[in-house]
Chains A and B, each alone.
Chain A
Amino acid sequence: AQSVSQHNHHVILSEAASLELGCNYSYGGTVNLFWYVQYPGQHLQLLLKYFSGDPLVKGIKGFEAEFIKSKFSFNLRKPSVQWSDTAEYFCAVNDLLEYGNKLVFGAGTILRVKS
């Protein structure tokens, strides 16, 4: 079965520090890749997505992610975090052929940014 692995469950950073959250998936076919974010008390919302083309994807709020097919990875990055980035971040994979339209999520990474 397809799976998504996020390397860190908790990350604590100071404001202005750089962020990189790891994500690896276990499927070798064609996949679509997503990062979702859940701010405290809010619903899950899309941060960015990769379907095809340029493997470096830019999303909202200065986030970006790089798809490295050979490493089955889709790591999330931000050069300088802000206190408002405190949230839980989920990597997800959508394999349209095998799983229809559903997303498979990682366990999430809780990011706390200290002001």
Chain B
Amino acid sequence: EAGVAQSPRYKIIEKRQSVAFWCNPISGHATLYWYQQILGQGPKLLIQFQNNGVVDDSQLPKDRFSAERLKGVDSTLKIQPAKLEDSAVYLCASEDMEDTQYFGPGTRLTVL
């Protein structure tokens, strides 16, 4: 079974630029999460999707972050404009029917 795919793996941008991350979850997983992991910390939820609907985006900085999950499969997370404090690893996870979350390898973002 293929795992959660994410791209790109690394991205370096300057502050105020925009960036987008892509996630392809495990086939058949209806629930998809985006987490932000700052160096030395645990992952923190940004947004949760159930199929193509948003379940929880209470911790998403909506003035600069946006996410979508078209057709209930792939998802993209966008930051515009980026700030220095957005430097982190962005993790995508999909969940099976037994509440187990499977994480992708993440995208490491550096904002200069």
Instruction: Tell whether A and B belong to one assembly.
Output: no
* Chain B residues packing against A (C-beta within 8 Å): none
